[in-house]
Amino acid sequence: MALKISTKKLKELIVKHHGIVKKVCESAEISRQSFYDRLERHPELKQILADAREITIDVAESKLFKLIEEGHYPSIRFYLETQGKHKGYTIKQEVTNTHTIKNILEVPEMQSYEPDIDEIREH
């Protein structure tokens, strides 16, 4: 059984591991459920987790912008498709119908036939 971890130490681990819950829990030797229970009891931990994740997003964005500045086409395309939608940078599939479907099954008009009693007796 793990020793109880202090809230202060948990804050440090959240920052150290960039808000990645799995890593925080492994370092703290607590279950995910214990971690989320602690978040409910300590709202300041929720804010630290949110802040750590935002910082990580900021770092990732700065790396993306560096690649864009270097002319890295996949990064440019990704950015335009996710952030440039309002300017028309979206992936669209166009479907054109170049074939006409013709009625390939023609059902002839059916005439009803009812044998009379003498014809039935013959068979």
pLDDT band at 30 (very low <50, low <70, confident <90, very high): very high
pLDDT band at 2 (very low <50, low <70, confident <90, very high): very low
pLDDT band at 93 (very low <50, low <70, confident <90, very high): low
pLDDT on residue 123: 66
Helix-, strand-, coil-residue percentages of the chain, each rounded to 5: 60, 0, 40
pLDDT band at 113 (very low <50, low <70, confident <90, very high): confident
> What residues contact residue 84 under an 8 Å CB cut-off, 6+ apart?
none
pLDDT on residue 53: 96
pLDDT at 3 over 60: no
Segment holding 98, helix H or strand E: none
Q: Among 5-19, 31-45, 68-82, 89-103, whose mean pLDDT is lowest? A: 89-103
Residue 114 structure tokens: 């009812």
